A and B are shown apart, each in its own frame.
Chain A
């Protein structure tokens, strides 16, 4: 099913949020369709994490109005893997699941994130990238209709991040959840998303579809154009951000 014609699974209308200390939303409208991969881009403090936390119902301290419709099956991947240190890897993956097949599903999810055989490990025995892959397995084993990811690769080294991009892209194609990926990495947003939404001062400032050709030189040309466009929206000169535009 093409994302463009599919039903929206997320519907946000005129959402406002206010905190005494940080984060403000000033009337956000956003639709995410079934299976659509949306990257939410913005500078620190623009409200992108506030929006994600509102969608995840994690903003108990906030006041505000607006309409939020999200699917019931919703998973969150945080910037830290957030594994319970006192539970082995498999028990972390199936935390909160019941049913006789929970363990089998957990094992399968671990195999999907390329961590077969690590079921009985303690979280501290894994590297940062492996821990984040367990967190991804924990999210996917619930077969979410909406996957919210709050800078999930922000704490990983550059090489691990590339591997995680490939993995996330493949798994979201297999499981086909709607994805909202909060990031401040323009390249990551273009690489992964069908659509990039730029936030600024608590509002949606731009909504740009990612129309990359599958491969070939046209792809990197379009990539560079998109990057320049997005960086412009973020108030950054591309030449300063990346002296060599050929790197894409």
Chain B
């Protein structure tokens, strides 16, 4: 603040309430400064992401109404909706959805359990790391879907094969993120635990595990996505039930509306499970500033 404006401010303070003397600006500043351009993007509306999907549905509807989109290539939205209602009424959609969800849930459960156990062994002990970490890194370089022929030879084409492939797909992101988080505990917290005289078990329980929880939950988000991806693939192979089977069957009879219904169901499953994991994050990580309301 320069001397002149300070005087002006002092004068303004002495005036009766509500009466303000105009501030005399120095001559050099008399030319109004150009408004500063805002360079950052303003805060986003929480529902803003819906605009893109809404536009897609709009284009789809208009395209179908005007005949630009051939019904054999892509059925009209209203046809898709009525097909979905028919499938629900026949009970086919629910039955297949339930089977698919059960497969994904089993694969997810086994994969998460195995991933967490191996990550704990490899993350908390040096020798455990020597044994397991290299193995997992080797496995990581082989795409899980490339293992399918071998898994079919071992387990046949039944449910065991499907759940196994999903579990392997889930295992990798759970292991990688949990292991990295366990090994990434900050030295300063380790020093703190040493000076407080914590036992090894108390150190693991009170410092390492809670500190690794964000990493595990990030892994869980990737794992859920991996589970759905693996599910789609195994259901296109030799399946006799499930959403993937329903889609495959529809392809045989050229029922593009059923295919679209199946894809919408996949999208809803993916979105709702991601939302579930993020809700879990917000519940368990209340200590994080980012999740605080």
Contacts and interface: CB of A to CB of B under 8 A. Distances in A.
Nearest to B284: A86
A86 B198 contact: no
B188 A87 contact: no
A124 B292 contact: yes
A80 B186 CA distance: 13
Contacts of A75: 195
B194 A85 contact: no
B135 interface: no
Interface in A79-138: 80, 82, 84-88, 95-96, 122-124, 138
Given A78-B188, A80-B188, A56 B206 contact: no
Given A80-B188, A122-B287, A87 B195 contact: no
Contacts of A78: 188, 191-192
B210 A84 contact: yes
Contacts of A190: none
A39 interface: no
Contacts of B206: 84, 87, 95-96
Contacts of B213: 86
B188 A82 contact: yes
Contacts of A84: 189, 192, 206-207, 210-211
Interface of B, secondary structure class, is helix
Contact of A82 (B189, B202, B289, B292): B189
B287 A74 contact: no
B196 A96 contact: yes
B180 interface: no
B273 interface: no
A237 to B, nearest CB: 34
Contacts of B188: 78, 80, 82
Interface centre among B188, B286, B287 (most CB of A within 10 A): B287
Nearest to B190: A58
Given A82-B189, A84-B210, A124-B287, A96 B194 contact: no
Contacts of A58: 191, 194-195
A96 B197 contact: yes
B288 interface: yes
Interface in A52-84: 56-58, 74-76, 78, 80, 82, 84
8 contacts: A56-B195, A57-B194, A75-B195, A82-B191, A87-B210, A122-B286, A122-B292, A124-B288
